[in-house]
């Protein structure tokens, strides 16, 4: 055997664990699946020897060396049937970009002329307000806040009653008044008025969930940290069977999608599916007759 090769073994009795496509790094929690064999194992002589398990042997070249006789390692990855065609159809249906999210989403709610630190804060605030709230209502609240000068300092100097009047009628506005004040104080004390640049720090802020954190990373920092999954993405992914098994929460859906969806699509999928959910794949009485995926959607076939 060539000195530039190492021998890798994998038991036939064990299935390789699935691995996300799209070039992302493999999660640290996944154990190593390839074990280097050091020499041959010696067997003790005896009357009853344990039956040797058959091993599948593959080789991996070191330092870019290749061996024509080596069998390439293969990793099986689950993915939904016909998802590329379903995605292409959704892109076609969303080509006009005329859904509420296209005009009033978080990337449209901040003041583009404000300093970068203020813009990032406004992005985070718009995301906090958007929870359980229609885009039109969120945009209205942001417009009223910006008219008074929307910064960390201005929010901390605004009394709770006035802040409530400014953001009403966003969903759970009373709780959001408290969360906005608490988060703004943390940002002033620990981040010099800026917002954190990591998902872990963002979700640690009062009133900030995983979807908001991933969107804040994308819009405010230009970093794709994961798929932002809200109720629209969660609903549509399950209707199209884009998860290997039904999921019960947006976070479970996010994890399921990130296992197979190519990473280069992560930044697109939220806005694409949110608008599709606002216009066609409605929560109640979806407009299946007008959907290009009617013949490809398992849920539509059951209606």
Residues labelled as active-site residues: 211
Question: What's the CA gap between 55 and 33, in Å, rounded?
Answer: 14
Q: Is 35 helix (H, G, I), strand (E, B) or coil?
A: strand
Q: Which residues pair with 56 in a beta bridge?
A: 10
Other CB atoms within 10 A of residue 125 CB: 28
Residue found under tokens 């892109």: 91
In whole angstroms, what is the distance from residue 236 CA to residue 234 CA?
A: 6
Environment class of 94 (CB within 10 Å of its CB; exposed 0-12, middle 13-18, buried 19+): buried
Helix (H) / strand (E) element for 57: namely: strand 55-61
Residue 276 · residue 236 · CB < 8 Å: yes
Closest C-alpha among 205, 245, 249, 212 to residue 228: 212
């Amino acid at each position: 055997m060539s000195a530039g090769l190492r021998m890798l073994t994998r038991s036939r009795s064990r299935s390789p664990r699935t691995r996300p496509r799209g070039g992302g790094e493999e999660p640290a929690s996944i154990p190593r699946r390839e074990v280097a064999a050091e020499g041959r194992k010696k067997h003790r002589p005896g009357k009853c020897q344990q039956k040797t398990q058959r091993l599948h042997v593959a080789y991996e070249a070191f330092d870019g060396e290749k061996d024509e006789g080596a069998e390439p390692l293969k990793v099986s990855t689950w993915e939904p049937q016909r998802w590329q065609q379903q995605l292409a159809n959704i892109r076609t249906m969303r080509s006009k970009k005329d859904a509420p999210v296209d005009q009033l989403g978080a990337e449209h709610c901040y003041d583009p002329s404000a300093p970068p630190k203020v813009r990032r804060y406004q992005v985070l605030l718009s995301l906090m307000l958007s929870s359980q709230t229609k885009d039109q209502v969120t945009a209205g609240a942001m417009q009223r806040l910006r008219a008074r000068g929307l910064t960390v300092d201005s929010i901390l100097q605004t009394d709770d009653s006035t802040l409530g009047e400014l953001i009403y009628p966003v969903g759970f506005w009373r709780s959001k008044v408290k969360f906005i004040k608490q988060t703004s104080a943390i940002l002033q004390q620990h981040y010099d008025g800026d917002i954190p640049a990591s998902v872990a720090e963002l979700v640690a802020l009062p009133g900030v969930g995983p979807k908001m954190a991933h969107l804040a990373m994308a819009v405010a920092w230009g970093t794709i940290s994961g798929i932002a999954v809200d109720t629209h993405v969660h609903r549509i992914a399950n209707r199209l069977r884009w998860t290997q098994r039904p999921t019960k929460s947006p976070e479970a859906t996010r994890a399921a999608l990130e296992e197979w969806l190519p990473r280069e699509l992560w930044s697109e999928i939220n806005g694409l599916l949110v608008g599709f959910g606002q216009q066609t794949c409605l929560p109640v009485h979806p407009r299946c007759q007008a959907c290009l995926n009617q013949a490809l959607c398992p849920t539509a076939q059951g209606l």
